């Protein structure tokens, strides 16, 4: 969360039962899944590792930020999202926004949710804001796992350069035409959702564009359903919802607190320690994986899922893309000078594989030039995806390859075969997928 345009964090008032009973306009959607806390924490561990391997932070213009973008993009691509990376320049450095669209839903009625992905230069930025980024990522993966067919189109954004003045999100909104802005029905923001001494704040609709009250009620209603009292807060212009609000788009979000001090009444209501900051490590080097309250992270991740499922609706049909997709997300270590394989069993596909079989690959490796990759068909035929090269000195292989596999029977066990051809650098297969 940026310090820029900092407004006092108002405690607000606890919502009354009468307010929570205001009905939503949407028809009752399918229930959102329970978001796995372990999966969200696994993403946090990855962001911590990225920071550790890149000078201790994931800040704008630093290598740790781009590595964070690549990690999230790889997961989304493997899960069937359509992703794009939008570049911008700020303070002499290139920044990146990652935009992800889930296929289907009304393109003139978009439900958007976002979180900033950058940290300050002082540290890894795990609560601020790997928590929001990780929660949003896991919700995206569960949308894929559920093959959700929403009434409205779903779009997620991971913003760059938030910590230096909300630059990425502002750049994105300003890049939209008037018609494109009008297509966005709502924007939900999740910035710091696992503070160690947590509050349960929901963005107040007061002073926000028309339609924001429905977002406020969706979120407070969820917390009420799990027995958690909330307080409204005016986040003002200190996070990425601000650009959307200025464009007249309804906004909402959740927040577990930053440098503000927890009151005695709040400690009685939520637990924790009164007289101390919600996040004593806010914008400090100690904002690491041990600076996160697991219960708050779990509840807020579920709140993201609930709000997206509720607001986007469930059409009840199948995903409009009829082409089946198969994925293996199990990590496979790639030691030095070793060949490893990761299998995917394909079933229920008629005839042969297509001439444009898509192979999404996410391999995390400290020297991608060491890596040679083949796709192996069920009959043992190998298709070379990537050769090793001593001059290819970047990290990681996050890519989509197209293979003419029309001579191969689709059903059966396909394998991703990865060989490390040199010493000193290692990695792992993070995930891969076949899109027929």
- Residues carrying an active site annotation: 162
126 and 190 in contact (C-beta within 8 Å)?
A: no
Cis peptide before 400 (omega within 30 of 0): no
Contact between residue 407 and residue 427 where contact means Cβ atoms under 8 Å apart: no
Transcribe 210-259 into DSSP letters: TTHHHHHHHHHHHHHHTT---EEE--TTSSTHHHHHHTT--EEEEE--SS
Under a CB-based contact definition with an 8 Å cutoff, are residues 105 and 150 in contact? yes
CA-to-CA dists, residue 391 to 337, 375, 388, angstroms = 18, 23, 9
CA 286 to chain centre: 23
Helix (H, G, I), strand (E, B) or coil at 9: coil
Least Cα distance to 428 among 367, 342, 364 occurs for 364
Cβ atoms of residues 267 and 273 within 8 Å: yes
Q: Which of 5, 3, 11, 39 is nearest to 431 (CA)?
A: 39
Distance CA 368, CA 394 (A): 6
As a whole number of angstroms, the distance between CA 325 and CA 142 comes to: 14
Kind of pairing between the strands at 201-203 and 152-159: unpaired
Q: What is the distance between the alpha carbons of residues 117 and 136, in angstroms, rounded to a whole number?
A: 11
Q: Would you call 216 helix, strand, or coil by DSSP?
A: helix
d(CA 259, CA 261): 7
Cβ of 393: how many Cβ atoms within 10 Å? 9
- Rg (the chain; Cα; Å): 22
Partners of 313 in the β-ladder? none
Q: Which helix (H) or strand (E) holds 307?
A: helix 294-312
């Amino acid at each position: 969360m940026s310090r820029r345009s900092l407004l006092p964090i108002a405690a607000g008032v606890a919502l009354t039962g009468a307010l929570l009973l205001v009905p939503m306009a949407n028809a009752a959607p399918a229930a959102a899944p329970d978001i796995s806390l372990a999966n969200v924490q696994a993403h946090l561990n990855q962001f911590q590792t990225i920071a550790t391997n890149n000078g201790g932070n994931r800040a704008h213009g630093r290598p740790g930020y781009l590595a964070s973008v690549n990690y999230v993009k790889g997961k989304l691509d493997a899960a069937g999202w359509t992703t794009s990376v939008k570049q911008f320049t700020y303070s002499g450095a290139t920044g990146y926004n990652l935009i992800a669209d889930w296929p289907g839903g009304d393109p003139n009625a978009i439900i958007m949710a976002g979180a900033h992905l950058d940290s300050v230069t002082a540290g890894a930025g795990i609560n601020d804001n790997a928590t929001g980024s990780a929660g949003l990522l896991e919700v995206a993966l569960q949308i894929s796992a559920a093959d959700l067919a929403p009434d409205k189109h779903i779009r997620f954004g991971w913003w760059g350069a938030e910590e230096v003045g909300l630059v990425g999100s502002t750049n994105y909104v300003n890049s939209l035409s008037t018609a494109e802005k009008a297509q966005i029905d709502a924007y939900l923001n999740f910035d710091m959702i696992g503070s160690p001494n947590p509050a349960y704040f929901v963005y107040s609709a007061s002073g926000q564009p028309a339609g924001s009250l429905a977002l406020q009620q969706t979120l407070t209603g969820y917390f009420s359903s799990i027995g958690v009292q909330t307080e409204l807060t005016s986040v003002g212009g200190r996070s990425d919802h601000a650009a959307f609000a200025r464009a007249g788009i309804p906004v909402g979000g959740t927040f577990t607190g930053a440098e503000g001090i927890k009151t005695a009444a709040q400690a009685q209501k939520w637990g924790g320690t009164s007289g101390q900051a919600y996040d004593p490590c806010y914008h400090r080097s100690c904002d690491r994986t041990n600076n996160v309250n697991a219960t708050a992270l779990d509840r807020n991740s579920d709140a993201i899922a609930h709000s997206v499922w509720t607001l986007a609706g469930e059409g009840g049909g199948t995903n409009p893309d009829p082409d089946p997709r198969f994925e293996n997300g199990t990590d496979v270590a790639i030691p030095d000078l070793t060949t490893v394989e990761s299998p995917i069993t394909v079933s229920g596909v008629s005839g042969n594989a297509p001439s444009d079989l898509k192979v999404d690959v996410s391999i995390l490796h400290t020297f991608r030039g060491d890596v040679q990759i083949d796709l192996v068909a069920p009959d043992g035929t190998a298709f070379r995806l990537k050769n090793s090269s001593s001059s290819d000195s970047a990290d990681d292989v996050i890519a989509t390859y197209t293979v003419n596999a029309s001579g191969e029977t689709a059903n059966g066990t396909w394998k991703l075969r990865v060989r490390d051809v040199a010493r000193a650098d290692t990695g792992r297969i993070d995930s891969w997928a076949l899109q027929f």
